[in-house]
Structure 1
Amino acid sequence: MKVATTLAAALSLAPTATALNILMNNDDGFGSGNLRELYKLLKAAGHDVLIVAPATQQSGQGGRSDFSTYANLTSPAQYDIVPAGAPAVGTDPNDSSIWYYNGTPAACTFVALDYVLPRYYPGWTPDLALAGPNYGTNLGPFVYSLSGTLGATYAAVSRSIPAIALSASNSAVAYFNVTNATHPAALAAKASYAVVEQFINATTEGSAVLPLGYGINVNIPELSDDTLPPVVKSRLTGEAETDVAVYDEDKKTFTWGNVRPLAAGVNACYNGDCSLPGETYVVANGGISVSVFTIDYDAPSVPYTEMVFAKVESLFSAGSGRNDTEGYQTKPAQKKRMMTGRDVYRM
């Protein structure tokens, strides 16, 4: 049952007691209607907001940090906002606080932190990073690694910035085609704002919005009016989807589908409160899901983890008569260059 709270009442766009520096990003492109509508709401509330987002649509890139090898755009930016030949990183001609970069969402996070801010906004440090609202929901652990919206978010969290991923259930629209307050993009932005502003208002001035290494994944159901749906504490796992490869006999190509029955692997619960509903279930039943994640991907300290380590215990102890992790816990870090996946890719 929906609560009798309108989005308009939840917004209260008077300047907030705590004005933050907010860095925005997304994977749908810097001309996204959803992105621009939330940007306007945050600015109206008194926050200092900058957008650094992809020059073109970059959905499905996950946390891939792909930087352009060209100094200039080889084709026009999204919706022809910026012409081909313009610098690969620059500002919207109508708003100098909105930047584009010709790279993936995660790359935009890093370009913002390591180029745009130090060069053009010295001393401006983000208090909060927001990605989205995305066109379409990003539900469950599988899309955590697939979604560009989430990729931009955990890139920020990895750099010690509190970050929130926001995803809605509306379709893509150019920002200049959002012409009224009841447009789906406007409603998605208002619902996103209601959640974001609650996090901000509940934070003591001078404190971080989230603990170090923490991020938030918010998903919003389809909105038909300005009624705020129930906001539900949730988790990533729980009736979550993962892919199956679907082969087209005629085209001889593959596409994706949702595996049935639901896969147990993507829904295994080891961390956090396993009694919480999964975000997939919450959104399917008309609620706004709010899930908490951390950057720490380590397996939990449970018997299963001990059993896994035990399988190679003889290797850990080989040659030294003790578990070599003991020595590594006390030795300073070795300054040796290790080959990374990125190095292998470039070979």
Structure 2
Amino acid sequence: MRPQSVFALLPALAQGIRIIQSNDDGWAELYVRSFHDFLLAAGHDVVLSAPAENKSGTSSLDIEPFPRNSACQYNSCPPNSRSPIGRNDTSPRLNWVNSFPVTSMRYGIDTIGPQHWNGAAPELAVSGPNVGSNLWLSVPFSGTVGTAVYASKQAGIPAIAFSGASGGTLAWNTNPVPLRSTVYAELAGILVDKVVQAGKPYLPQDVWLNVNFPDVKEAEGKCVDVEQFKWVLSRINPAGILSGKDVSTCGADRLPTETDVVNEEDGGGCFISVSVGDSNDKTTASKEKQKVVLDKLAGLLTCLP
């Protein structure tokens, strides 16, 4: 098991970058906090801007934040703050926005992040890890996906949405930290570092990566260590009769769906789906853009059995 305190022992990256982070489960959800801690320990300049409470399933809704009267999620901010946005006084990198996930990402990109970075813009946007998967039919409705799509399309910032199949919401101060939270944080950090190390532009224009982790089955000792996981390039939606070809890899020109990837049990299971999403319609991006991502993730990706 990797306790959260181990993050502080990680070597810092030579290429730490400015990262804006959000989610749709709320700013005080444990998954997003574990990932935040991991990115900091890895040397990234990360700022969290997420909803004040759980706003799952709100897709791309975006309205101006309004004054908050009740306490934030898990009592993580006091009642009657009368403020539309707020932050953790002892850790100003942690910020809440009293509105929807996309709104929190927008404020993070336009206002909260630049205030921390002396006016500079974020270089990468990440969302999640979401509590629960975001696969195919759920993708258009996901606020986690919505934040990544907003960043990549409207703001022109490369973006990655992470989701983990192991469910169960957890407060930011849960102790001890469950293994699933630290495993997902480390896996997400591995992909971020791979993308960053591949160099700019980190991703093609108007795409985002939709990444889904399988269950962490601690009781079975399965998918409990990052070395057990394998990364597979996938597609979001099943291919139709009129669908164009995917990038050629693993001896085929049709990628597996992300659902098939995370449900694969052969070869030990523990497969992670990485789909290249089209920010214009939240479906699968073209083979040309898939090829760019395939090349950037060379050495990380593998094939299904």
Normalising by the smaller structure, the TM-score range is: 0.7 to 0.9
Q: Which runs of structure 2 are paired with 1:103-122 in the superposition (5 Å)?
A: 103-119=99-115, 121-122=117-118
Per the TM alignment, residue 163 of structure 1 is displaced from its structure 2 partner at its CA by: 0.2
Output the CA distance in 2 between the equivalents of 1:178 and 1:129. Answer: 28
Per the TM alignment, residue 288 of structure 1 is displaced from its structure 2 partner at its CA by: 0.2
Preserved contact between residue 191 and residue 228 of structure 1 (Cα < 8 Å)? no
Task: Give TM-score, length-normalised by structure 1.
Answer: 0.69
Per the TM alignment, residue 294 of structure 1 is displaced from its structure 2 partner at its CA by: 2.2
Matched, 1:125 2:109: no
Report the equivalent of 2:279. 295
The structure-2 alpha-carbon separation of the partners of 1:45 and 1:234, relative to structure 1 and needing over 3 Å to count, comes to same
Matched, 1:147 2:131: no
Per the TM alignment, residue 120 of structure 1 is displaced from its structure 2 partner at its CA by: 5.2
The structure-2 alpha-carbon separation of the partners of 1:269 and 1:28, relative to structure 1 and needing over 3 Å to count, comes to farther
Q: Which amino acid aligns with 2:102?
A: A
Partner SS state of residue 175, structure 1:
coil
Output the CA distance in 1 between the equivalents of 2:242 and 2:100. Answer: 31
Report the equivalent of 2:170. 173
Matched, 1:156 2:129: no
Output the CA distance in 2 between the equivalents of 1:298 and 1:235. Answer: 11
Q: Which amino acid aligns with 2:29?
A: S
Q: Which runs of structure 2 are paired with 1:183-262 in the superposition (5 Å)?
A: 183-203=179-199, 207-224=200-217, 225-226=224-225, 227-238=227-238
Per the TM alignment, residue 114 of structure 1 is displaced from its structure 2 partner at its CA by: 2.6
Counterpart of 1:17 (choices 14, 18, 34) is: 14
Structure 1 residue ranges without an equivalent (≥5)? 1-5, 239-265, 301-347
Output the CA distance in 1 between the equivalents of 2:31 and 2:125. Answer: 16
Matched, 1:32 2:11: no
Q: Which amino acid aligns with 1:211?
A: P
Preserved contact between residue 173 and residue 185 of structure 1 (Cα < 8 Å)? no
Rg larger in structure = 1
Partner SS state of residue 176, structure 1:
coil
What percent identity do the matched residue pairs reach?
30
Per the TM alignment, residue 66 of structure 1 is displaced from its structure 2 partner at its CA by: 2.6
Counterpart of 2:97 (choices 88, 98, 101) is: 101
Matched, 1:83 2:78: yes
Report the equivalent of 2:297. none
- Which 4+ stretches in 1 moved above 3 angstroms? 117-122, 266-269, 296-300
Q: Which amino acid aligns with 2:215?
A: E
Preserved contact between residue 139 and residue 219 of structure 1 (Cα < 8 Å)? yes
Per the TM alignment, residue 211 of structure 1 is displaced from its structure 2 partner at its CA by: 1.8
Preserved contact between residue 166 and residue 218 of structure 1 (Cα < 8 Å)? yes
The structure-2 alpha-carbon separation of the partners of 1:18 and 1:269, relative to structure 1 and needing over 3 Å to count, comes to farther
RMSD between superposed Cα atoms in Å:
2.5
Per the TM alignment, residue 194 of structure 1 is displaced from its structure 2 partner at its CA by: 1.7
Output the CA distance in 1 between the equivalents of 2:256 and 2:10. Answer: 31
Output the CA distance in 2 between the equivalents of 1:111 and 1:230. Answer: 35
Preserved contact between residue 178 and residue 185 of structure 1 (Cα < 8 Å)? no
Preserved contact between residue 140 and residue 282 of structure 2 (Cα < 8 Å)? no
Report the equivalent of 2:52. 55
The structure-2 alpha-carbon separation of the partners of 1:191 and 1:102, relative to structure 1 and needing over 3 Å to count, comes to same
Preserved contact between residue 207 and residue 279 of structure 2 (Cα < 8 Å)? yes
Structure 2 residue ranges without an equivalent (≥5)? 218-223, 247-252, 285-305
Aligned residues: 258
Report the equivalent of 1:275. 254
Output the CA distance in 1 between the equivalents of 2:282 and 2:138. Answer: 19
The structure-2 alpha-carbon separation of the partners of 1:298 and 1:121, relative to structure 1 and needing over 3 Å to count, comes to closer
Report the equivalent of 1:262. none
Preserved contact between residue 282 and residue 289 of structure 1 (Cα < 8 Å)? yes
Partner SS state of residue 83, structure 1:
coil
Per the TM alignment, residue 13 of structure 1 is displaced from its structure 2 partner at its CA by: 2.9
Most deviating of 218-227 and 55-64: 218-227
Q: What per-residue deviation string (whole Å, max 9, x for no partner) do you get for residues 133-158 of structure 1?
A: 00000001x32210000001101012
Per the TM alignment, residue 295 of structure 1 is displaced from its structure 2 partner at its CA by: 2.0
Output the CA distance in 2 between the equivalents of 1:52 and 1:42. Answer: 15
Partner SS state of residue 200, structure 1:
helix
Output the CA distance in 1 between the equivalents of 2:49 and 2:110. Answer: 12
Output the CA distance in 2 between the equivalents of 1:63 and 1:268. Answer: 29
Output the CA distance in 1 between the equivalents of 2:110 and 2:157. Answer: 13
